[in-house]
Each structure stands twice: as structure tokens, then as C-alpha cells.
Structure 1
Amino acid sequence: MKIKILLLTFIVLCIASITGCENDDFKEVAGVCPVVESTTPLQNALNVPLDQVISATFNEYMDPNSITSTSFIVSGMSPITGTVTYTGRTASFKPQALLEENTTYTAKITTKAKDVNGNFLQLEHVWVFSTGMLLRPVVTAADPINNAIGVALNKTISATFNMAMNPATLNSTTFKVNQGTNPVLGVISYTGSTVSFAPTNPLLANRIYTVTITAGAKNSIGTAMIADYSWSFTTDGVPTVTATDPMNNAINVALNQTVTADFSTLMDAASITTATFTLKQGTTTILGTVSYSGNTASFNPTNALALGQIYTATITNGAKSASGTPLTADYVWNFTTVLLPPAPIIVDLGTAAMFGAFGGNAGVTNQGLNTVINNGSLGTTAASTTITGFHDGLIIYTETPLNVGNVTGDIFTAPPAPGTATSLLIAEKALLDANAAYLSISPAAKPGGSDPNAGELGGLTLAPGVYKSTSGTFKISNGNLTLDAQGDSNATWIFQTASGLTVGIAGPTGAKSVIMINNGQPKNVFWYVGSAATINSAGGGTMVGTIIANSGVTFSTSGNANQTVLNGRAISLVASVTMVNTTINVPN
């Protein structure tokens, strides 16, 4: 029986060999009929990469000569060209170009393929697959940004992609920088997902540059940009000095002049310093403070300038624009100060001149045993009861054992007694005169005041003139203020502050003073204070000048034994004057 079965099998095999495996019943017999076991991509595969190599694996070894472009065909809208190879039991088709995006392809192994024994594939093996939308590289950020202006001349230009790129495709043919039609030379580098272009030479000032990254730039798997990417920017103009104050070769410049320079563009404030903005008289460097605001640099001399001298101001090329572009060269100009002292400023106090302290319509208060007003009177338009802690030669105004103040002149108030109608008239006239004097030294009446150190007068030496706080407050806290009359006994100073005046700082050594030199006179110093003045709240120190404050003047604070001195007058228009152990010496 076994012999019959073997014989029957042999006959069947022989028939299959003779017929070329035309009977489907014999196709799965190993070693008889070749079939495709698997494919890449799989049947109906989606989102197949565009660089996909297509392959088919057989159930047996095939005749390599039968695996050709006529037996392995791949078509999209039309047949595509490629290279066919055969290794092991696998035939491969490598497309000559990338596959198209979002396209369905048909792969086919025809019946021309045969095995090593000459047995042909009985039926064509056909399968289909589809490619997806390709993720292409795009530029997500550029530096400088498109249409940027004021770009630094040493700018490194860069572009950042949405994916890793092939550095070999980022070169002078794919990353181009042009100024008009002129190409710019530079070094290209790539780090992370950012390509950078460092110009070999500085860019030209005030020019439009165009940057182009071409579609030749490819990602790490060889996918190119879909189109060129271009953007433009404008470089910074070289900064220049457009105006100065004083102007070049100016004469009769005030001794308290703040020297300024205006620039053509916004500057780097950190580059505007005493190293780049200097003032000299001959070879002598003038000390001062340098500041920068808007497009203007300012040099405020620490001390008053000298009469009839030539000064040289210099802005060096260390001064840079906000984007880092320096001046092409130092900018130098000269000016000459006034030959004669300025004409004296006349301030008429009227009948208010006889008062050492005047408390407007609110009164005057003393706390302490050592308060005295020398060579002057005391007054208010308020009732006599608002004067506390004082006496004159005849009358005591509510003094206590701890609050005794001596007025060497007279005390003028409204009734009740000891105030009288007559003394009230004198006080009212003094207040009217004080108001008039206040207006006469205001910024409206005396414009053009300078601010030598941003409201801080401590540590300065100032020539005669008008000084106005830009911030609205004046302080004397960083040291004493020195007023230099430069030999002119008529030299006058007016200080204007829209808000407060504060002299001194807290602490036992916090008192600050105003010092007058070279024939300076306290009677020629005036303080216009828009609100209140506080003089050495820690006690001590010497203040100079006539203080006319709208809303009160306070000397020292309760409990301080150190004597505070005012060589001048303390006049408040609508509030009280308060003193603690204070000496007021009224000037003639």
C-alpha cells in the first residue's frame, strides 16, 4: 500500500513539473511553485515614507535573472523608475526619486519571475499602499526678525527650524545674505535646529539686507523645504551728535551750566559715562555727574565753572547706540564762560523781611529751652493763641518750663490779646509781601533753572544762579551744600522745588549744612518750596537763606538737644512753622 502512495505522489509531481504548476492545487507544494510570502509595505499600508524601498519576499529562492524591472513594477499615476535587486529570497525596488506625497502606489511581481528550478510565478502578486503628507522643514524664527530696524552692525544672523536639519545642506548656496545685489561673505554654522551666519566684516550702517534660505536646505532624512524662505532687516545708523548745549564756540556761558549733547538715535545708557562724556578746562578734568535720558546725555559739573575760561567737552566713540553701534569718532566742542559775574537777582521781601519766622494763618510753635530769633520778629495772621512757647521783650505767649523761645524783635498776631487789630494789620501786610516774593522766585517768574544732580544738592559746590528740581523735590543728604559767590557779595541763588525740601537725614550724625564761601551772603539765598520744608530732623546743622514754603517749615524734632541754626528766614504761607531748639539769625 505504501508503495502505491509513493508512486502516486511521484506521478503528481512529474505532472506538476511538466505543466508548470498550472493547477492551483499544487501551488503550495514546497519547492514546486514560487509564491510571494510577504511585502514591504504591507497591502493597503498608509503614510508610507517617501524614501521607502519596496520589497517582496518569496517562499523559495528565485532565479535572480528573472527579478528585473519587467517582473517587479511599481506605478503611481504612471510607472516609476527604480533599481531592482535580489538578495536571499527578497526582491527590492528602490525608486530613483522620492515618492510623491499623498499618493496611492501599486506594486506588482509579474509571472515572469521564476525560481531556480525554472518554475514561474503562476499568478501576478499585486499590492497597494499610500504615502502620507510629508513633514517638511520650515523656518519658525529668524533673528533679526523680518523688517527689523536698528540692527547692530556686528549682528550674527540666524534661523531656527522646526526639526533637525542636515548640516551639509546648510551652506553658502542655501543660506544667502545680500545687501541689494551684493552678496555678503560670512561663516555658516549649525547647532541644534538653528543655523547661523556670522558676517566676515561688519555690516554697513543704515542699509537694507535680505536673507534667503533656499529649498535646497534639507532635514536629517533628506526632505527639502517646500520653498525658499526670505526676510529683510535694516541696520542701525551710525549715531551722531546732532546738537549741544552750549553750542560749539558759545560765549558767556553761565557758571552753573549743565552741558548736554543730543544724539541722532537712541543710545545705550550704559555707554554714556564719565569715561565717554568728559569736560576739561585746559588739561584739567572737571568733576561732574553724567546722566542719559531720551536721546540726551548731560554732564552736571560738581562745582561751579570758572569765570572767563574756555572749556572743552568730548563725547568719545566709546558711546554706542542701543544696538551697539559706536560713534565713528570722538565728538569735541568748546565754549567760554562769562567774563563777569552775572547781574544780581533782586528779590523784594517787603515787610516780610523783618520776620525771622512767619506762620501764615496757622501760627508758630516752639519746643525747647534754646530757641531764639535774633534780629527779627515773629508773626502770623492767626489768633495769638497759635503762638506757643515764645516771648518778646514785653509779652509771653504760652511758654512752659520746657518750651521757652526768645524773640528779640516783636510778635505780631491777630486778637485776642496780646494780639491787636494793629498787629494783625502788620501781619497781614507781611503775608501779602511774602506771597508776592514767593511768586517772584517761582519757575514762572524765574525760568531756566538747572538741576545739577537730579534733586540731590549734597556734596555740590554751586555758583550763583537759578536751580530747579526736575523731580519736584530738593534734598541735601549726601553731604553739605557749598555756595560759591566767587568774590561777588551780591551773588544770588534761587532754588525752586514744586514739592518738598529736605535737609539732613535720620540719626545723630545726620545733620547737613549749607556753607557759603567767597563773600556769599545768606540774605541772597532763596528757597521756593511748593509744599513743606524739613530742616535737619535729627537736630543740628546750619541752614542758609530765606525759606518761603507754601505748607510749613519744621526744624529738628521734639526731644533733640542739638541746636539747629538758620541764617535766614522761615516763612510759611498757609501752615505753621515749628522749631525745636532752633536759632534763627535774620540777615540785614
Structure 2
Amino acid sequence: MKTKNLLFTFAILLIALISGCASDDFQETIGVCPVVESTSPISNAVGVSVDKVITVTFNTEMDPATITQSSITLTGTNSVAGTVTYSGKTASFTPSSPLLENTTYTGRVKTLVKDVMGNALQTDYVWAFTTGLILRPIVISTDPINNATDVALNKIITATFSMPMNPSTLNGTSYTVKQGANPVAGTIAYTGSMVSFTPTNPLQANTTYTVTITTDAKNTLGTALGANYVWTFKTGVNPIVTATDPVNNATGVNLLKTVTADFNIPMDPSSINATTFTLRQGTTSIAGIVSYSGLTASFDPTASLQPGLVYTATITTNAKSTIGIPLANNYVWNFTTTVNPPVVVQPSQVNLGSAAMFGAFGGNAGITNQGLNTVINGSIGTTAASTLVTGFHDATAIYTETPLNVGDVKGKIYTAPPAPGTQTSFDIAKQGLLDANAAYLSISPASKPGGTDPGAGELGGLTLAPGVYKSASGTFKISNGNLTLDAQGDPNATWIFQTASGLTVGVAGPNGAKSVIMKNGALPKNVFWYVGSAATINGAGGGIMVGTIIANAGVTFSTPGNAAQTVLNGRAISLIASVTMVNTTINVPGN
């Protein structure tokens, strides 16, 4: 009997050894060892979801007490924290946070697990899988773009996503605009794939803002941005007034002055108007026309200003730049008008005599033309010999023209002999010179005293009433803009400009030409220039000069090589030197 018991025990052990499984307690029933039948994901799976719950299914019921975080593990770049549960024959490992994208993980079931009979897994079960890439939403564009500058103060800030988003995830927590650490109040809206932030109040000028869309923003499938999306922008600067004409506290201002203000940046023309740009004398508003061009706003009074009074000009904060940014404060300046209005001259006081028919007169030195497009709508003359008239022809004769120098005189050419000059034409030229000298003296400071110098020798940019104007320094120039002559509706309005030395119109460069503008009935026949030495008219070519220029020592129009046509609505008379011109049109005024 004892031998039979020993044989039975040996048989049981042999069965256990053959099955690869042994019980911890020979008193228990010995069964087959547990094995892992399947896993999810399977071994070597790819593209696994990052929110995957990892499962292990056994061939038999397991002891739940042995299914723990110690016996079932998951490792990627580091150990993965998670919760282990067991149901039926399946153990589940739920990661505490989503797995990383595009990462290989290793699952391990250790021999610590046992079935309900106490039989242990004989070797660790190990398998691996790789997660996939998630199709996450991304921000594909913003407005303003990152690091944008000169952003308008009323800007609606937008971001466009690569796919439709869940509107409920785009809110004041996930989409913020800040100035430094201070949040900006605003309203958030979403349509299509675009989210917008409309600030409650205008943004501040010259200020940097930071916009953030956090990972709380999710698409319609609940997938979040991979990381916070952050960008910055800077608003534009406030426009400022850089210069005014007249300057602040100026005195002796012309009664026909057009008041101007220059800005540092382009302005919205619609914001420069009679409401934002005003002129007052005390509490009385001055009527005028407001305009804007380039960087300059202009206020042109409808009527003449009054002498000896203080005027106040104001540009308000409703004047805005092209991107809607206003002046930071009202800009206010004052000026005082002259107490000595210009001397009024009657046309009858200036008599040109026979010199009136000449568009150009070269004293005793001649007249020269260079260019193919010179036209004199009148006559020309000189007391010099005909050989000193070059580059011209009239209806009867040619005066030393070349293929490159052709001047068309619509009237007649008067010179001394030799032919085509004659004694008769010489006599006419001599009388013309005598009459020109007499007119020169009649408009001199000695004959017409009391002239003023409203621009300190600079006539550009001025608007002048009829009268006598005398350069205090001895020279006049028109270089800072055009000169405007305002007749105020009087067809007999007359201007006399006196300079002891030179007259220069225009500056160098392709856009250097300057002009004389006539308005409100002003006529070229009533404008006279007394020039003590020489006059140079638009050396760069182009421009429109007006009036009868009587210069002691020559008149020059344009320079060789200039194709732009230079125009004189008047006369160019030199007493002792020549008149030279390049592609010039002279229109002699009627009586």
C-alpha cells in the first residue's frame, strides 16, 4: 500500500513536469500553466491610437489579486503610469495620460500573474507596438501676422485653423489677447475655420500685444492643438504734426495766407475736413476750404484775413492716419497777421510801350535757343547784330538754326544788320529797349516803394494778394512749392516783385520745376518782376512761370538736354545781357 502511494505521488509530479507547471502546494490541484492568448494592440502593431487602453487576454481565469501595476507594465521612453483592472480572462492597462505620438512602447506581463489554481505564468510575456501621428488642428494663418507693425487700433484679431473646430472650446480661456500681463477685453466669435477676437475698446497706439490660443482649443473630434500657439503684433504710432505754415506765434502773416500742417505719416483724407481742421479769430470761426495732399493738410480761407489780429488753428484728434490712428492730442497753434497790407498798384502805372510785343528781348547781347520745341507766341528782339540770334526762325527768315535747335517765332524777329536784320528792324529794337528801360525804372523800389517780404525771400508756398513785394535780402526764389497769386475777383489786380539781385524759380532734379498759379481772376499781363541782376527759370525744365520779367543781366530758361517744356506766360526782357532758352514756350499776354 505504501508503495502504491509513492507511485501515485511520483506520477503526479511527472505530469506536472511534463506540463511545465508546478503548484506551490502539493496539496492543491495541479493544472495547466496560464498563458497569454492575445494582446491589444497586437505585437508589432503600428499607428496605434495615443488614447489606447492596453489589454491582455489569458487562456484561463486568473487570480485578480495577481493582476496589478507591478505584474503588468508599459514602457516607452519612460515607464508609463496607469491603472490595471481585470475582468473575465482579460486584464486592462489604462494609461494615466495619452501616449506619445510616433513612439514605440513595450508591454510586459510578468510571472507574478497566476491563475485561480495558483499556477504562475512561466516566463514574462513581452510585446511591442508603435503609436501613430494624430491629425491635430493647427493654426495656418493669423491677422495680424506674427510681428506685424503699424496695426490699426480697431483691428479684429483672427486666426484660421487647418480644420473645423469645436466652437465651445474657443473661449476667453483658450483664446486670449494681452498687453503685457494685462488681458484685453473682447468678444470671441467662430465661423468656418476662423476664430475672431473683437476688442471691446480700441487698442493703444505704439503698443505690443500677445495673442495665445491654448491646447484647450479642439477640433470637432475632440483633438487638441499640439501646443499653445502664440504670436505678437504692434500697433501703429500716433500721427504728429511736424511743421506748420505759419509757424506757431508767427507775426506779419500775409492776409491771403493758406494755413498748412505737415504730418509724419500719411493721413486718411476723409478725416481731414472742416470739422477736424479749423481756424478761429478769437471765438469766431473762419470759413475756408480744407484739403489734403501728400503729407500736408491745407486750410484756405474763403476771404482775406484781417490785419493785426491773432488767429488760432486747430487740428483735432478726429484727424486719423490711413490705418485709423488719431492724433494723441489736439494740435493748436497761433499766428498774427501783418499790420501793413501790400501796396495796391494800378495797371495804368506800368507802361511797357513798344516792349509789350516782345516775348523775349536780349538787350544788346542777343537771344539763343537750344532744342526742337521752342515756340514764341509773339515777337523777339535785340539791338545786337542778327548773327547773335541763334536757333530761331520767323515767317520770313532763319537765324542760325541747326537740326537740333529750332525755335518758331510766331511774330517777327527784330535785330540790327546784317541781313536778315535791317535798319528798320534795328530801329524798332532800339525803341523797344528804351521802353523796356523805362518800364524797369517804373517798377523799381524807387518808383514803387513800400514792398513787403512775407516769406523772407522765399515765395514758394505763399498765396499773395495784389501789391508790391520787395526782397529784404536782395533775392527772390520760388523753391518750397508753387506761388499762388489771388486776384480776389479783381481783373485789374496787379503784382510787382522787386529784387535787387537775382530771381531763381525751381530747384535741381527731375521734379524740381515750380510754377506760379493764378486764381480768382488773376491775369499774367498784370504781373511784373524787377530783377537787379539775372533770372533763372526752372533750370531742371518744366513748370509754368507767369509775368513780365525785366532783368538787368539776362534771363535763362531750363538747361541743355531737358526735354520737359518750360512755359512763360509773360515776357523775358533783359536789358544788357542775352536771353537763353531750351524747349521753352512763351505766351505774350494780350493788353
Counterpart in the other structure of 1:418: 421
Q: Indicate whether 1:43 and 2:43 are aligned.
A: yes
Please report how far the alpha carbon of residue 146 of structure 1 lies from its aligned counterpart in structure 2 after TM superposition. Answer: 5.9
**Counterpart-to-counterpart distance in 2, 1:379 and 1:274:** 56
Find the counterpart in structure 2 of residue 185 from structure 1: 185
CA contact (8 A) 2:460 2:478 kept: yes
Relative to structure 1, the CA distance from residue 179 to residue 78 in structure 2 (aligned partners, 3 Å threshold; closer, same or farther) is closer
AA at the equivalent of 1:496: V
Corresponding residue for residue 449 of structure 2: none
> In the TM superposition, what is the alpha-carbon distance from 1:253 to its structure 2 partner?
0.9
Which residue does 1:326 correspond to in 2? Answer: 326
Number of corresponding residues: 487
Structure 1 position 450 matched with structure 2 position 466: no
Aligned AA for 1:545? T
- Flag the 1:482–1:379 CA change in 2: closer, same or farther, 3 A: farther
Q: Is the 2:111–2:120 Cα contact (8 Å) retained in structure 1?
A: no
* Percent of aligned positions that are identical: 35
Change (3 A) 1:196 1:83: farther
Alignment of 1:148-227 (within 5 A): 150-157=150-157, 170-189=170-189, 196-207=196-207, 209-211=209-211, 220-222=222-224, 224-225=226-227
Structure 1: how far apart are the matches of 2:515 and 2:193?
Answer: 59
Work out whether residues 203 and 235 of structure 1, in 8 Å CA contact, stay in contact via their aligned partners in 2.
Answer: yes
Aligned 8 A contact 1:109 1:124 in 2: yes
In the alignment, the residues of structure 1 paired with residue 540 and residue 206 of structure 2 have an alpha-carbon distance, to the nearest angstrom, of 50
Matched, 1:383 2:384: no
Alignment of 1:206-355 (within 5 A): 206-207=206-207, 209-211=209-211, 220-222=222-224, 224-225=226-227, 235-236=235-236, 238-241=238-241, 243-263=243-263, 266-275=265-274, 276-279=276-279, 282-293=284-295, 297-299=296-298, 301=300, 305-308=304-307, 311-327=311-327, 330-342=330-342, 355=358
Q: TM-score, normalised by structure 1?
A: 0.58
Q: What's the CA shift for 1:254?
A: 2.0
Report the residue type matching 2:105 in the other structure: T
By how many angstroms is 1:44 displaced?
2.0
Structure 1 CA distance, aligned partners of 2:113 and 2:520?
A: 115
| Alignment counterpart, residue 496 of structure 1, candidates 482, 490, 505 | 505
The TM-score with structure 2 as length reference comes to: 0.58
State the distance in 1 between where 2:225 and 2:521 align. 82
Separation in structure 1 between the aligned mates of residue 87 and residue 140 of structure 2, nearest angstrom: 43
Task: Give the Cα separation in 2 of the matches to 1:448 and 1:170.
Answer: 63
Residue 539 of structure 2: aligned partner: 530
Supply the distance in 2 between the matched residues of 1:48 and 1:311 (Cα, whole angstroms): 81
In the alignment, the residues of structure 2 paired with residue 578 and residue 244 of structure 1 have an alpha-carbon distance, to the nearest angstrom, of 35
State the SS of the aligned residue for 2:368: coil
- For 1:27, the equivalent position in structure 2 comes to none
- Asked if the contact 1:41/1:54 (under 8 Å) is kept, the reply is yes
Contact 1:358 1:570 in 2 (8 A): yes
Look up the match of 2:478: 468
Distance, in Å, in 2 between the alignment partners of 1:197 and 1:318 is 25
Note the C-alpha offset of 1:177: 4.3
State the distance in 1 between where 2:317 and 2:236 align: 16
Closer, same or farther in 2 for the Cα pair 1:74/1:372, shift >3 Å?
A: closer
Contact 1:384 1:418 in 2 (8 A): no
SS in 2 for 1:383: helix
Does the aligned pair in 1 maintain the 2:385–2:418 contact within 8 Å?
Answer: no
Instruction: Say if 2:236 and 2:325, in contact at 8 Å, map to a contact too.
Output: yes
For residues 235 and 289 of structure 1, do their structure 2 counterparts lie closer, same or farther at Cα, with a shift above 3 Å needed? closer
Contact 1:84–1:92 under 8 Å retained in 2: yes
Question: Structure 1 residues 214, 379: closer, same or farther in 2, change over 3 A?
Answer: farther
Structure 1 position 567, deviation (Å): 5.9
In 1: Cα distance, 2:110 partner to 2:573 partner: 112
| Equivalent residue number for residue 457 of structure 1 | none
- Matched-pair contact (CA < 8 Å) for 1:364–1:578: no
Gaps of 5+ in 1: 1-14, 25-31, 438-444, 453-459, 504-511, 537-542, 553-564
Deviation of 1:105 (Å): 1.7
Distance 2:173 2:360 in 1: 85
The code of the aligned residue for 2:297 comes to: S
* Cα pair 2:529 2:547 within 8 Å, conserved: no
Deviation at 1:165, TM superposition (A): 6.3
